[in-house]
Amino acid sequence: MKYKLSDIAELRNQRTEVSPLSRDTYISTENMLPNRGGIVAATSLPTMEYTQAYCAGDVLVSNIRPYFKKIWRANFEGGCSNDVLVFHAKQGVDSRYLYYVLADDLFFEYATKTARGTKMPRGDKTAIMNYPVEGHSYAEQRKIASVLAAIDEKIINNRAINDNLQQQAKTLYANMFSSISAEQMHSGVLSDIADIVMGQSPNGESYNESGDGMIFFQGRAEFGFRFPTIRLFTTAPKRIAEENDILISVRAPVGDINVAHERCCIGRGLGAIRSKKRQQSFLLYTMFALRPQLNVFNGEGTVFGSINRDSLNNLPLTIPNEEDMQRFEDIVSPIDALIRANSDEICRLEQVRDSLLPKLMSGEIDVSEVEF
């Protein structure tokens, strides 16, 4: 039996004070990761007194450019921007099941197709609440959610491992280079240790989502924890980032960092940074450490912050001697390789989950006899 989304969920319409919120409990489209990647800490809090509220168990979906598939099931309460839809499961509906209804590619395709606007399309709330949903008993809902959650738990564990590995490497960087004497360091600029390519957008008519041409990243919208999510391709690439190049956002917010998983085209919102001496891990954690300096550029410009090639090339930094840089590289490059391997496994698990999800929802795979 077919239902509407409005039969199993409602949009929460409550307000909460901003003052008790933190960067961890405030959610906007900016700190929701694409491709069902969850959330990261917000860069700032809103200036208004009240904002939209969410509760534990609610499902938050970014309503801007639905094709980025930004979704998160809350495990605590907080506040979010008005560009985030907050879905609350109705009585008799499992909240995890609701999450997977909304995490389905079919839902995001529907939300994109019925969205309003071209440059910055927003989902139409009325159309979204009319989204067709297959009917499942509460017991079936729980079983469907359990099958998919088992895969997601492994994905979450891998993400937690990667986060821990990255934090260890950042700590090692801070400890190692804060303990080195001034005589072993010298002042310089970023271009002393890195080559920088600034992005240039191809002709818009060359963009496609069918895999024709080269992978293309316009800006930070596709950024994930370490590697960006592939969505667009171009048949007319202009500026190229090589595999393992550091991708940096050069338009607001300036300074967000990812790594190119493979050779790709970069648009005007990005730059690509490459070590001159094959010390890419040292360079990556140097860029992480330079984030406070990069944040300065978020306050410059007429409307949005930006950084140009000269400013990036001339970014001041303290450079250790060659031996210490290589020592760090030898320790941390295997850590970065493990982060990449875990990320690759996450992608494979996501493919399995995303293949199972519509089949479970449609009833093509029957879970009625499955025991948990």
pLDDT digits (tens, 9 = 90+) for 75-89: 999 999 999 999 999
333 burial class (0-12, 13-18, 19+ CB within 10 angstroms)? middle
Least confident of 18-22, 32-36, 165-169, 213-217: 32-36
Average pLDDT for 333-354: 96
Q: How far is CA 75 from CA 8, 9, 56, 58, in A?
A: 20, 18, 5, 8
The model's pLDDT over 277-288, given as tens digits with 9 standing for 90+, comes to 999 999 999 999
pLDDT at 127 over 80: yes
Rounded to whole angstroms, the Cα distance separating 124 from 167 reads 40
The model's pLDDT over 37-56, given as tens digits with 9 standing for 90+, comes to 899 999 889 999 999 999 99
Share of the chain above pLDDT 70, in %: 98
87, 106 Cβ separation under 8 angstroms: no
Instruction: Look over the chain and give the mean of its residue pLDDT values, rounded to a whole number.
Output: 93
Give φ, ψ of 302 to 5 degrees.
Answer: -80, -45
pLDDT at 302 over 50: no
pLDDT at 300 over 60: no
Rounded to whole angstroms, the Cα distance separating 170 from 226 reads 14
The helices-and-strands tally (H runs, E runs) of the chain is 9, 21
Rounded to whole angstroms, the Cα distance separating 327 from 279 reads 10
Q: Which residues lie below 8 Å from residue 274, measured CB to CB, with a gap of 6+?
A: 194, 195, 196, 197, 242, 245, 246, 280, 283
What's the CATH fold of domain 2-135?
A: Adenine-n6-DNA-methyltransferase TaqI; Chain A, domain 2 (3.90.220)
The helix or strand, by DSSP H or E, that contains position 26, with its residue range, turns out to be: strand 26-27
pLDDT at 253 over 90: no
Least confident of 68-77, 147-156, 357-366: 357-366
Q: How far is CA 89 from CA 150, 153, 263, in A?
A: 21, 21, 42
Helix axes 105-113, 322-362, angle to 10 degrees: 90
pLDDT at 304 over 70: no
Q: Which two tokens stand for residue 327?
A: 């020592």
- Tell me the pairing of strands 264-266 and 232-234: unpaired
Rounded to whole angstroms, the Cα distance separating 283 from 127 reads 47
pLDDT at 276 over 70: yes
Rounded to whole angstroms, the Cα distance separating 193 from 256 reads 20
Domain ranges of the chain: 2-135, 182-320
Is the domain spanning 182-320 CATH 3.40.50.300? The answer is no
Considering Cα of 162, then 165, then 169, then 175, what sign does the dihedral take? positive
Average pLDDT for 159-176: 96
- Reference 211, options 234, 227, 229, 228; nearest CA is 234
pLDDT at 169: 98
Confidence of residue 179 (pLDDT cuts 50, 70, 90): confident
Considering Cα of 210, then 211, then 213, then 219, what sign does the dihedral take? positive
Same fold, 2-135 and 182-320: yes
Task: Give residue for tokens 């109705």.
Answer: 90
